[in-house]
Structure 1
Amino acid sequence: MPRSAHESKMTTLRPLPVTHPKLVTLAKQKLPCSRGTIPRSQLIKEKDDIDHYLEVNFKGLSKEEVAAHRNSYKKNICVDMLRDGYHKSFTELFALMEQWEALREAARLRSLIWQQKPLEEQPDKLDYFYHYLTRAEAAERKEYFEDVYNNLYALACYFNNSEDKWVRNHFYQRCFKIAQRVKIDGGKKEAEAYAHMGLLHEEDGQLLEAAGYYETFHQLTQGRLWKDETGHILNLLACESLLRTYRLLSDKMLENKEYKQAIKILIKATEIAKEANDKKMEGEASYYLGLAHLAAAEYETALTVLNTCCRISADLDDDLSLGRAYEAVAKVLRSQGETTEAIKYLKKYLKISRNTFQSLDIVRASTMLGDIYNEKGDYSKASKSFHQAFDTTVKLMNMSLMDETKVHYGIAKVDQMMLTISSYIESADLTSLDSLLSWKESRSDIELDLVTGESRRSTEESEIQNTEYLEEFNRYFLLTPTLYKILRCFFVFWFLFFVFFDRQS
C-alpha cells in the first residue's frame, strides 16, 4: 500500500553524527572560521594535547616528525642542518635568506614589483641549498677542496639566471677562495675561478677589475688544452673575454678623448688575437684598432690596419665583417679628402649590404654616399642616395631613422632646386625669366635639372618631371611647413630682385 506523506517523512533516516578524533577536533577549533579568540594559554595546552595524542595513537611517529608537519619547510631545512651538525651551512643559508628578504623589502619600499616568491615558497631551491651546502661543508672538513669547489660551483650554476644572479655571484666568490687551495688539478679550477670573477665584475661595469681577472685567467691557461664542461678550450675563452673587455675599455677611453691609451690597449688585444691563432678574432681586433687610429686622426696608420681587416675578412668569406671594414676605410678616405676613393668603398659596402639583406647597413651606406655627393655639389646623386635611404627606413618602420633620412633628402632637393633657379637667373634671358615667372605662378613648369651647358628638354617632358618632383617635394616637406615657407619667401624675394634689376637696366 502506498504510504502517506507523513509516514514517508517519519521513516526518512537522519544522517548519523560524524565522530571526529580528538586531533581533528582540536585542530578545527583553531580554524579561521571558529568563533571567538582563543587565549594563548589554551593554544599551548592544545599543542601539548596534540603531541600527546599523536604519540599515543600513532605508534612510531616521533615528536620530530610531528614538528616536521607543523613547521614550515624552510624551518625544517634549518633544523635538519643544525641537528646533523652542519653549523656553517646553516649560518650561510640563514645569511642568504636574510639578504633575500632584504632585497624584497627594498623593492617594496621603492614601489618596485619583486617577481621572486618568498624563499619558503620555493622548496626546490631550499633542497639545493641543503644538499650542496652540507656536502661542501663535509668535504671541507676532510680537506677535499676539489669536492668543495664542485659543490659550490653546482650552486652557482643552478642560480645562474637574471632573478638570482646575486646568489650566483655569492657562490662565485666562494669558489674563488676555495680554488686557491685546490692543488691536484694543475691550476684548472683556479683559472676557472678567475674567469668567473672577471665575468662578475664585467657585468657590474667594473671593467678595469674585470680585465685584471681575465689577464690572470689568460696567463694560467697559456699552453694548456683545458676545456670547460661544454668542450670549449679555456685559453680561447680567455682571449675572447680579454678582447671584449679591452674593447669596452677602449670605447670609454675614446669617449673621453684618451686616444693614446685606447690605442695602446687595442694593440694588446691584437697581439692576444694573434697569439690565439684565430683569424676572425684577429680581424675584429684590427677593425677596432683602425677605428681608434681614425679617432686620433692617424689616417695612414688607420688605413694600414683596416686593410689588414679587409684582407682577413675576404679570406674568411665573412661578408658582414668585410662590409663593416669597407665602411671604416671610406670614413678614413673621406677624412683625408679623397672622396672619389671613399665613394668606391661605400659602393662596395652598399652592394654587400644588399646581398646580405642588412637594411640598417643600406641606410648607413646610402646616407654616407648622399653626404659626400652633397659636399661635391652633385645634388642629383645626393637626392637619389638619400631617397634610397628613406625608402629603406620606410620598409623598416623605423620612425626616428625615417625622420632623419627625410630631412637629408629634403635638403638635397632644396640644394638641387636652388642651383637650377640660380642658373636661370644668371642666364638673364627672356626665356629663363619667363620660365621663372611661370614657375612662380604654377610651380609645375620649370626644368629642375641642372641646365648649364645643356639644351633644355621639351615642355612636355618638363611638365611630367616637375609634376613628379613637386609631389616628392610636398611629401617630404609636409611635416616642415616653417622651412618650406622660409625657402619660398627667399626664392620669391630673390626672383623679384633680379626682375626689378633687369627692368631698371
Structure 2
Amino acid sequence: MSAAASERRSEPFLPEINTNRRRCAQLRRKPEKRSDKSAQILSKEEVALFRHSVKQNICVQMLQEGFHRSFSEVFLLLRADEEGRDLRRQAPLEQQQDKLETMRIHLSQAEQAERTGSWLVVCEQRLFLGQYFSALGDVWLSLHFYHSCVDRQPGGSRPVAEARACMAKLYLQRGELEQAKQQAELCIQQAEAGGWMDSAGRPLRLRARQTLWRIYSRLADAPLDAKDYDEALTLLHEGYSMAIESEDKQLEGDASYQLGLTYHSAGDLDRAKQFINTSMQIFGTLGNADGLGRCYKAMAKIMESEENVDETVDCLERFADISSSNGLQHNLADAYLCLGNIYYKRRQYQRASEFFLQSYEVACSLQNVDLLQRAQVWVSSARAQTVIKKYSADVVSATEAALRRLLAWKQTRPLQEVGRDGTDKTAAVWYQLTDT
C-alpha cells in the first residue's frame, strides 16, 4: 500500500505549464516560416530585370518615369547603331549597359530641365554625353550629342561654344576639314562675345584657334602636293595668324617652321630663312631640342640650295650635336646621313663613308630596320666609289705598274677585309680606301 501511495505521489499534481508554453511558441513560429518563404518570392519588376534585355529594361524605365522624348531618342539611336554596325565594327549598343544607362540618366535630366525652360542645363547634359562618347571612341554618338547641344541654343552659350570646339576637333580627325573649319570659326565668334572657358578651365577662344591652325595646315596639304605654292602659302599664313593669336609658343614655332619649308619649296630662300630663324628662336627659348634640330636641318637645306657648302655642313653638325646631347638617337642617325650625303656629293667618299657608318651604328642601337638598311646602302656605295676612283685611274693609265696593281688586286680581292677606318687590312691590297 505504501508502494502504491509513493507511485501516486510521483505523478505531478498540476498539469505541466512549460509544455503548453513550448507548444504556443511553436505555433507562433510557424507563421514566421511562411513569411521567410514569401520574402524569397521576387516582384514582377525584379523578374523583368532577368527576363528582358538591357535595351528593353532601359526603355521601359524611361517610359515609366515619363521621359517619352528621351525614350524616342534612345530608340532611334539604337536603330541607327543597328544599321551602321558593319561599318563601325563594334559591339551592339543595345548590349552595352553602361552606355545605355548613362544615356538614360542624362537624357532624362535634360528632358526634365527642358520642361522647366532651363536650357543651360539641357546643353550641359548633352555636352557631357558628347564628351563621354568621344572618350570611348564612339564618334558618331559624340557628334550626335554635340549637334543636339548646339541645336538647343543656336544663339550661343558656354556649353554650346565648347560643343563647337569639340566638333571641330572630331571633324578634323575624320578629315572633314570644311566642317571642322566652320565649327571652329563659330566657336571663336561665340567665345569672343562671351569670354567663356571650357570644362578644363582653358579659354575657348584660344582652344578654337589652336584647332583652326591645324585645320589650315591640313588644308594646305593638297595644294602643296599639287605644287600650288601660292594657295598653300595663303592657307599657311592664315594658320600662322591663328597660331600667334592662340598664345601658344610651341604652336607658333611649328607654324613658322612650316612656312619656312614651304617658302623653300617655292624658291623664295630669303623668306624661308626668315621664318626658319623665327622658329629657331622660339624653340631655343622653349628648350625644345627636337624642334631646334629640325630647324637646323631645314636651314642646312636652304644653305645647300644657295650652294653654301660650309654653312650647310655647319648647320648639320649643330643638328648632330643637339641630337647627341639630348639623346635624340633617331635624329642623330638622320644628321649623320645628311652629313654623309653632303660629302658624297662633293666626291669626298672616305669622309662620307665615315658618317654613313656612324649612322649605321646608331640605327643598329635603335633596331630601326628601315634606317639601318638605308645606311647600309650608303656605306656600300661610298666605299665602292672610293675603290673605283683608284681602280679607274689605273685602267686609264695602263702603265706596267698600274697593270700589276690591277692583277694583284684581282688576286687578293676575295681575301680582303675592310676595317672600320675604311682601309684594307690584307697585306697584298693595292687599293686603299682613302681619297687622293
TM-score category of the 2 structures, normalised to the smaller one: 0.7 to 0.9
Is 1:174 the equivalent of 2:155?
A: no
Q: Residue 250 of structure 2 corresponds to which residue in structure 1?
A: 280
Q: Residue 241 of structure 2 corresponds to which residue in structure 1?
A: 271
Q: CA deviation at 1:262?
A: 1.1
Q: What amino acid is the match of 2:381?
A: I
User: Any conservation in 1 of the 2:303–2:312 contact (CA below 8 Å)?
Assistant: yes
Q: What amino acid is the match of 2:82?
A: E
Q: CA deviation at 1:291?
A: 0.8
Deviations for 1:185-235, whole angstroms, at most 9, x for unmatched residues?
xx4333212212212211221112212221232333348753322222323
User: Any conservation in 2 of the 1:420–1:448 contact (CA below 8 Å)?
Assistant: no
C-alpha distance in 2, partners of 1:410/1:419?
14
Is 1:406 the equivalent of 2:380?
A: no
Q: Residue 369 of structure 1 corresponds to which residue in structure 2?
A: 339
Q: Residue 61 of structure 2 corresponds to which residue in structure 1?
A: 80
Q: Residue 153 of structure 1 corresponds to which residue in structure 2?
A: 127
C-alpha distance in 1, partners of 2:184/2:428?
63
Q: Residue 343 of structure 1 corresponds to which residue in structure 2?
A: 313
User: Any conservation in 2 of the 1:179–1:193 contact (CA below 8 Å)?
Assistant: no
Structure 2 counterpart SS, 1:160:
helix
C-alpha distance in 1, partners of 2:137/2:186?
29
C-alpha distance in 2, partners of 1:75/1:372?
71
Structure 2 counterpart SS, 1:443:
helix
C-alpha distance in 2, partners of 1:406/1:358?
21
Q: Residue 76 of structure 2 corresponds to which residue in structure 1?
A: 95
Q: CA deviation at 1:125?
A: 2.2
Q: What amino acid is the match of 2:259?
A: L
Change (3 A) 1:134 1:345: same
The two structures have a TM-score, normalised by structure 1, of 0.70
Is 1:129 the equivalent of 2:103?
A: yes
- Find 1:209's aligned residue among 170, 179, 198: 179
C-alpha distance in 2, partners of 1:423/1:468?
11
Q: What amino acid is the match of 2:279?
A: C
User: Any conservation in 2 of the 1:444–1:467 contact (CA below 8 Å)?
Assistant: no
C-alpha distance in 2, partners of 1:235/1:94?
36
Q: CA deviation at 1:263?
A: 0.7
Q: Where does structure 2 lack aligned partners over 5 or more consecutive residues?
A: 1-37
User: Any conservation in 1 of the 2:113–2:119 contact (CA below 8 Å)?
Assistant: yes
Q: CA deviation at 1:270?
A: 1.9
Change (3 A) 1:133 1:427: same
User: Any conservation in 2 of the 1:444–1:466 contact (CA below 8 Å)?
Assistant: no
Q: CA deviation at 1:323?
A: 0.6
Q: Residue 385 of structure 1 corresponds to which residue in structure 2?
A: 355
Q: Residue 20 of structure 1 corresponds to which residue in structure 2?
A: none
Deviations for 1:249-294, whole angstroms, at most 9, x for unmatched residues?
2223211222111111111222223333433322111100001111
Q: What amino acid is the match of 1:391?
A: E
C-alpha distance in 2, partners of 1:59/1:357?
68
Change (3 A) 1:68 1:364: closer
Alignment of 1:83-482 (within 5 A): 83-104=64-85, 106=86, 114-116=89-91, 118-181=92-155, 187-222=157-192, 226-426=196-396, 429-443=399-413, 463=426
Q: CA deviation at 1:324?
A: 0.6
RMSD in angstroms over aligned alpha carbons? Answer: 3.2
Q: What amino acid is the match of 2:235?
A: I
Change (3 A) 1:120 1:225: closer
User: Any conservation in 1 of the 2:124–2:159 contact (CA below 8 Å)?
Assistant: no
Q: CA deviation at 1:445?
A: 9.6
C-alpha distance in 2, partners of 1:356/1:465?
44
User: Any conservation in 2 of the 1:176–1:197 contact (CA below 8 Å)?
Assistant: no
C-alpha distance in 2, partners of 1:195/1:163?
17
User: Any conservation in 1 of the 2:123–2:160 contact (CA below 8 Å)?
Assistant: no
Deviations for 1:118-153, whole angstroms, at most 9, x for unmatched residues?
444433222212111111112112221111111112
Change (3 A) 1:428 1:469: closer
Change (3 A) 1:305 1:466: farther
In terms of mean alpha carbon deviation, does 229-238 or 260-269 score higher? 229-238
**Number of matched residues?**
393
C-alpha distance in 2, partners of 1:287/1:302?
9
Q: What amino acid is the match of 2:58?
A: I
Change (3 A) 1:430 1:447: farther
Change (3 A) 1:415 1:423: same
Q: What amino acid is the match of 1:360?
A: H
Q: What amino acid is the match of 1:156?
A: G
Change (3 A) 1:63 1:270: closer
C-alpha distance in 2, partners of 1:435/1:468?
8
User: Any conservation in 1 of the 2:256–2:279 contact (CA below 8 Å)?
Assistant: yes
Q: What amino acid is the match of 1:282?
A: E
User: Any conservation in 1 of the 2:259–2:275 contact (CA below 8 Å)?
Assistant: yes
Q: Where does structure 1 lack aligned partners over 5 or more consecutive residues?
A: 1-56, 450-459, 471-505
User: Any conservation in 1 of the 2:296–2:318 contact (CA below 8 Å)?
Assistant: yes
Structure 2 counterpart SS, 1:159:
helix
C-alpha distance in 2, partners of 1:297/1:152?
50
Change (3 A) 1:464 1:382: farther
Q: CA deviation at 1:327?
A: 0.6
User: Any conservation in 2 of the 1:435–1:446 contact (CA below 8 Å)?
Assistant: no
Change (3 A) 1:465 1:191: farther
User: Any conservation in 2 of the 1:157–1:168 contact (CA below 8 Å)?
Assistant: yes
Q: Residue 52 of structure 2 corresponds to which residue in structure 1?
A: 71
